[in-house]
Amino acid sequence: MTDDLIKRYAKPVPRYTSYPTAPHFHAGIDAATYAAWLGELPAQTPISLYVHIPFCDRLCWFCGCHTKQVLRYDPIAAYLPSVYREIETVSENLGGRGHVVALHLGGGSPSMLQPADMLALVAHIRENFVVSESLEFSIEMDPNDLTEDRYDALAAAGVTRVSVGVQDFNPKVQAAINRIQTFEQTREVIEAMRTRGVGSSNIDMLYGLPYQTIESVEATADQVLSLRPERIALFGYAHVPWMKTHQKMIDEAALPGVAERLKQSLAAAERILSAGYVQIGIDHFALPSDGLAVAAAGGHLHRNFQGYTTDAAPALIGLGASSIGSLPQGYVQNTVATGEYIRQVRENGLATARGIALSDEDRLRAWVIERLMCDFAVSTGELQARFGETAAAPVVQEMRYAALYDGDGLVSFDGRTFSINEIGRPFARTVAATFDAYLANGAGRHSVAV
């Protein structure tokens, strides 16, 4: 693969964890709209919950999340009652409909919660929602936050999967992104949760960070593999200082170019695959026995705001400041600033700031983009069966044109299946963007596609 090919297709495009993507949300979707949508859900709808804890005890310069650094626990203690109130309001609007099959705590650093608060939060969820006995409960963890009593509380709360951000174990890289975390700390988290019966773990790695090399990425991959996590996520660092001003602390001259980024990604992937993992979509890996690998093999893989998932729930309810929810009718997002979120929830019970209602065409294109990101292929027969031949016809024509005018062999189309070929898979986001009807209007800026 030539550097020229990489540069041509590594253009900035969305990550497609939703469609339409977040830059196209607008203020016309408010709390009243959200409440109505919740009230329209069918009685037995499976629901996934995401709870955002937007606090960290340090600010990692690479981070693209909505979070803030706190040196005291007081802001977290002041924030949690609003999350409880939002839980109650959502429950009231559901009126007993739906049952929760998945729960994810993200941030920020939700592992900062004191043990009593972690248990109280989960208890509040169980008191206000019908929760499945087989609940899949995952949490993002920062090894620097954790203590024995926090480990005990997480196990007691029913956590089934832990996710630990590693990024890179190289000390020079860690210093450049303000994320100091040793291999020993990371191993302690995995082992501590395993001894408490939490048998599933995920580790996040990043490539494209300042001062990273192919060798350093491979070395980190080897250390991660020694822990044998069930899942590994290998993300490209998204350098978006126009959105996240703290990223200006990163020396741009130390960032690898797009060709080097791709080489780092491929080198790490080769290490992971050679250790017996299965590749899932563009940036995840799993042991063959893991549910993610099973779902991918069976064509049941999904993609949402947390990345690749087995979660097929048609309703994702976001709780907390900046959280995004996905309902059959559309997307909603809470206000970002924690102080404003607290005020709005105190006054109204909800803090919906924006969103977008889905059209039939949106749903069709969302399905096409999700299948490309998950399976690297779309069946026109299934597309037509789901949405009708007339509705599908324009997108099928776009598939035909995309293959016809592709001079580099990235995609192919035989009339029945539109496929991203092996050479095109590193650029799956760019291929998916072909079917994004919103992208051309210029709303939003994005990170490079590799």
pLDDT digits (tens, 9 = 90+) for 30-62: 999 999 999 999 999 999 999 999 999 888 888
Domain membership of residue 3 (yes or no) is no
Residue 370: give its domain's CATH number. Answer: 1.10.10.920
Domain membership of residue 16 (yes or no) is no
- What is the pLDDT at residue 66? 83
Question: In whole angstroms, what is the distance from residue 175 CA to residue 168 CA?
Answer: 10
Percent of all residues in the chain with a pLDDT value above 70, rounded to a whole number: 98
Closest CA to 101 of 147, 168, 38, 46: 46
Domain membership of residue 9 (yes or no) is no
ω before 12 within 30° of 0 (cis)?
A: no
227 Cβ neighbours under 8 A, 6+ residues apart: 186, 187, 190, 201, 203
| In the block, residue with structure tokens 């080897």 | 222
Task: Show the domain range for 226.
Answer: 21-357
Q: Are residues 163 and 230 in the same domain?
A: yes
Domain membership of residue 450 (yes or no) is no
3-state secondary structure of 288: coil
Domain membership of residue 196 (yes or no) is yes
pTM: 0.94
Domain membership of residue 6 (yes or no) is no
Which domain-ending residue is among 337, 357, 377?
357
Q: Are residues 298 and 224 in the same domain?
A: yes
Q: Are residues 223 and 312 in the same domain?
A: yes
Instruction: State the pLDDT confidence band at 386, using cuts at 50, 70 and 90.
Output: very high
- What is the pLDDT at residue 63? 83
139-170 residue pLDDT tens: 999 998 899 999 999 999 999 999 999 999 99
127 Cβ neighbours under 8 A, 6+ residues apart: none
Question: In whole angstroms, what is the distance from residue 381 CA to residue 417 CA?
Answer: 8
- What is the pLDDT at residue 428? 95
Domain membership of residue 14 (yes or no) is no
Which domain-ending residue is among 299, 329, 357?
357
Lowest mean pLDDT among 63-67, 103-107, 264-268: 63-67
pLDDT at 446 > cutoff 60: no
Which domain-ending residue is among 330, 357, 384?
357
Q: Are residues 134 and 184 in the same domain?
A: yes
- What is the pLDDT at residue 223? 98
Task: Give the pLDDT mean for 322-339.
Answer: 97
- What is the pLDDT at residue 59? 83
Q: Are residues 331 and 232 in the same domain?
A: yes
How far the first Cα of the chain sits from its last, in Å, is: 13
- Asked if residues 83 and 344 have their Cβ atoms less than 8 Å apart, the reply is no
Q: Are residues 319 and 391 in the same domain?
A: no
Instruction: State the pLDDT confidence band at 3, using cuts at 50, 70 and 90.
Output: confident
Q: Are residues 159 and 59 in the same domain?
A: yes
Q: Are residues 307 and 375 in the same domain?
A: no
pLDDT at 448 > cutoff 80: no
Percent of all residues in the chain with a pLDDT value above 90, rounded to a whole number: 85
Domain membership of residue 104 (yes or no) is yes
Q: Are residues 326 and 365 in the same domain?
A: no
pLDDT at 5 > cutoff 70: yes
Task: Give the pLDDT mean for 275-299.
Answer: 97
Phi, psi of 87 (to 5 degrees): -55, -45
Question: In whole angstroms, what is the distance from residue 194 CA to residue 201 CA?
Answer: 9
Domain count, the chain: 2
Residue 140: give its domain's CATH number. Answer: 3.80.30.20
220-259 residue pLDDT tens: 999 999 999 999 999 999 888 887 888 888 999 999 999 9
- What is the pLDDT at residue 447? 61
Q: Are residues 321 and 366 in the same domain?
A: no
| In the block, residue with structure tokens 């590994």 | 232
- What is the pLDDT at residue 46? 97
Q: Are residues 320 and 192 in the same domain?
A: yes
- What is the pLDDT at residue 28? 97
Q: Are residues 73 and 173 in the same domain?
A: yes
| In the block, residue with structure tokens 């899932």 | 280
